[in-house]
Chain A
Amino acid sequence: MLHTFIAYVEDKPGVLTRVASLFRRLNINIVSLTVGHSERSGISRMTIVANPPDHAGDRAPDRIRASLYKLEDVIEVDDIGKAPNVTRELALIKVAATAHNRSHIFELAEVFRARIVDLAPESLMIEITGVESKIEGLIQVLNETEDRVLEVCRSGKMTMRRGKHSSGVLKAMGIGNEAAPKPEMAPDNFADNI
């Protein structure tokens, strides 16, 4: 079963290797991994979608989270689990198209709420954001309409919990209240899950 983690990590050389190597060592496949700057300076945010083997059972997510925390450069780990969240992926798709057959791709893009971001005599580029199935839907339609898809570049998933704000966001916005309980620092429910 796919499982999504958010990890805040130090923005240093080698951190990505350390995180990726941990999954490799645990023999768990990383399905998708996105990294970028977070709201905190010097700290990157990773969205990791992993596929623990079935025999690892329900315990795998806790163990992955605990193991991630053991890495010196990992600051915070959130296990999304089934919590309400927004998950998006970005894709750039280059399609072979000439002046003669462009128009129906424009229509398709509109249906999928995608944008055309580059146009050349023999090709055009579509930018699409959305959940995985939406992106796959567009690619499938393009293939079925015999438009030749030349290149696909997908970002991998980015996930953010709904509602729950990380302490860092509030701090960055200058409305952080140190006295207020920070969600991440709340008593851990790990032991209760056992």
Chain B
Amino acid sequence: MTSLNEKDNDAHLNNTTRLTGAEILWATLVGEGIHEVFGYPGGAILPVYDALRKFPIRHILVRHEQGASHMADGYARASGKVGVAIATSGPGATNLVTGIATAMMDSIPMVCITGQVSSKVLGSDAFQEVDITGITLPITKHNFLVTRPEDIAPAVRHAFQIAKSGRPGPVLVDITKDAQQNSAIFDFEGAKPKPYTPHPMLSVLETSLQEAAGLIRNAQRPVILAGHGILQSNAGEQIRTLAERMQIPVGTTLLGLGAFPASHPLNLGMMGMHGESWVNDAIQQADLLIACGMRFDDRVIGTATTYAVNAKKIHIEIDPAEINKNIQADVALIGDLRQVLEQLLPLLPGRDGAAWLNSIAASKGDAAVRDIKNLPDNGHLYAAHVMHDLWRITEGKAIVATDVGQHQMWEAQYYRHDYPRTLITSGGLGTMGFALPAGIGAKVACPDKEVWIIAGDGGFQMTACELATIAQEKLNVNIAIINNGYLGMVRQWQEFFYEKNYESTPLVSPDFVKLADAHGIPGLAVRTRADLESAVQTARSHPGAFLLNFLVEQEDSVYPMIPSGAALHEMIRRPEYTPGHNPLLERPEDQ
């Protein structure tokens, strides 16, 4: 058997060599361009860990496998590359599940490798055996059970192809321990999967393009709905051209934030349940919606029967199963967004959209005065202040990983994302505990970028163990905890819909600054807006990780809000603050 020189040679990619299954796995990952993986060792994956030292791959040791899958996810979202998570069999594999489901819902390319008990004892309820391919069947694009070393390279290469292609998503490869231990000839080229065949129902007909172009040219009140697909297919430039040339305003989904610059005059902001009133009103009044790489999620449409009833809908989407799922399309262009737009743009010479844009601008009216200015500056700290000031201080250039709940929506409203892949958030599944590990993954992917992890006091505690990962890997991330002493979004629902019965939402938390300190991570508690800026600057200038515990107004709510099941225009609006009682205090930097 040929042994490999440690860490430095790629010879195994060019020669057909006899290697153990474990070595084949690493060699294949190297061949696929992977330099970092997130994982946790255990009995059934030990042969793989034993072989790791021979390969130029950085392994980030997590504290819980859920962290590994979220880190791989955050890595993929920040970089656009495939993230890789590794875990052992049984509980290691099941701990990945939440992260895999999160990636599936948000179409994130990810490959998970799990160890499995030896093929001889498969199905015998062996120690730490679990049917992980069965468990992950509905939450992966595909999964593999590999029982022979010669099948590892083809399965892993195929997994990468599936994860990246079409509508991306997670793939799991379950490898038995004997397959890792036994050896086989490794042939990277020979393990190449068959050429990718696109979904047979992709369809961009010339007649449909003409029809779409006609609708766009003749629309009086069009709105572009910008989704995650723009980032996935790298179509930012094409969307911008479409919006600018045809003078069409753009609303974005939560995952579409950053796909179209927030500061662009045509950007209306985020739509949906916590979208601003003028965005949702514009959609309801529209006569044409151009949906680009988005799936009309229920948080975006309110109810299907009341959604933009007077609008024709052009749906540009790569997944044919999304067409007509929630909202009936008048014209469906089923294909890669960028390619479709490149075909569509030549048919669109230009258009005068002033009347419609002016009418939207007028409808902004007072609503355009953001919360940030409406909030009483009575010495209390509001989460909106935190987001707004973070955006201002970081000049909107940081990668922000958010958790799920109120702070996530405030971040989406007040941190203005001008750059793609700067918001890492769990949209579809709404996974609490996502921010910390996903932010770690983003930092590993983009070590030169400033990374802010923003989490609520509830979600942070779900994966707080990953503070130790930050310490061990010496990662320079900034952590902001928006601490209101409640599971805030649930409390808000209880306030609005359950008669303020705050059942099981008040939260006793540890002193987060001390918790960070126990991990060797310095921190500060911030109680007033006056202290905010200096605290943020302290965190930024600190050479390593830093934690800020923002003690914010406890019973603040996210506005506007569309109650679940209501129509888009039936928003719960912000309460009015009476001048005099709550003197509005505007600062020049709030403009």
Contact = CB atoms under 8 A, between A and B. Distances in A.
Interface in B172-225: 199-201, 203, 205, 208
Contacts of A62: 320, 323-324
A115 to B, nearest CB: 40
A188 interface: yes
Nearest to B334: A191
Nearest to B138: A25
Contacts of B142: 71-72
Nearest to A24: B138
A70 B321 contact: yes
B450 interface: no
A21 B199 contact: no
A65 B201 contact: yes
Contacts of A188: 200-201, 203
A65 to B, nearest CB: 7
B319 interface: yes
Contact of B329 (A72, A76, A194): A194
A69 B141 contact: no
B339 to A, nearest CB: 16
Residue from B142, B205, B320, B331 with most neighbouring chain A CB atoms (10 Å): B320
Interface residues on B, range: 20 to 34
B306 interface: no
Interface string A36-74: 000000000000000000000001001101110111100
A102 interface: no
Contacts of B329: 194
Contacts of A194: 323-324, 328-332
A66 B133 contact: no
Interface residues on A, range: 20 to 34
Interface string A180-194: 000010011011101
A63 B200 contact: no
A68 to B, nearest CB: 9
A191 B324 CA distance: 11
A72 B325 CA distance: 21
A3 interface: no
Given A17-B137, A62-B324, A65-B201, A191 B319 contact: no
Nearest to A13: B145
B519 to A, nearest CB: 40
A14 interface: yes
A25 B319 CA distance: 17
Interface string B327-362: 011111010000000000000000000000000000
A14 B324 CA distance: 29
Interface in B138-163: 138, 141-142, 145, 162
A191 B334 CA distance: 8
A18 interface: yes
B325 A191 contact: no
Given A59-B328, A72-B162, A66 B137 contact: no
Nearest to A67: B321
B575 interface: no
Contacts of B319: 66, 70
A63 B133 CA distance: 25
A191 B138 contact: no
A190 B329 CA distance: 12
A190 B320 contact: yes
B379 interface: no
Contacts of A72: 141-142, 162
Nearest to A73: B142
A62 B201 CA distance: 9
Contacts of A14: 133, 145
B579 interface: no
B134 interface: yes
A124 B134 CA distance: 42
Residue from B162, B324, B332 with most neighbouring chain A CB atoms (10 Å): B324
A190 B315 CA distance: 14
A63 B199 contact: no
Nearest to A62: B324
B103 to A, nearest CB: 16
Interface string A60-94: 00110111011110001000000000000000000
A17 B134 CA distance: 9
Given A59-B328, A72-B141, A191-B208, A66 B134 contact: no
B323 A66 contact: yes
Contacts of A21: 137-138
Nearest to A190: B201
Contacts of A76: 200
A70 B334 CA distance: 14
B310 to A, nearest CB: 19
Nearest to B197: A75
A131 B182 CA distance: 53
Given A62-B323, A66-B201, A66-B321, A191 B332 contact: yes
Contacts of B330: 194
Nearest to A22: B138
B490 to A, nearest CB: 27
Interface string B522-566: 000000000000000000000000000000000000000000000
B551 to A, nearest CB: 43
A65 B323 CA distance: 12
Contact of A59 (B145, B205, B324): B324
Contact of A191 (B145, B162, B200, B205): B205
Given A191-B332, A191-B334, A194-B323, A69 B201 contact: yes
Nearest to B331: A194
Nearest to A60: B324
Given A63-B321, A63-B325, A190 B137 contact: no
Given A72-B142, A194-B330, A63 B201 contact: no
B130 to A, nearest CB: 16
Residue from A59, A71, A72, A76 with most neighbouring chain B CB atoms (10 Å): A72
A138 B47 CA distance: 62
Given A188-B201, A191-B334, A194-B332, A69 B320 contact: yes
A16 to B, nearest CB: 12
20 contacts: A17-B134, A21-B138, A25-B138, A59-B328, A63-B321, A63-B323, A63-B325, A66-B199, A67-B321, A69-B199, A69-B320, A70-B321, A184-B200, A187-B203, A190-B203, A190-B334, A191-B208, A194-B323, A194-B329, A194-B330
Q: Which 5 A-B pairs have the closest CB atoms?
A: A66-B320, A66-B321, A72-B142, A59-B324, A191-B203
Interface of B: 133-134, 137-138, 141-142, 145, 162, 199-201, 203, 205, 208, 319-321, 323-325, 328-332, 334
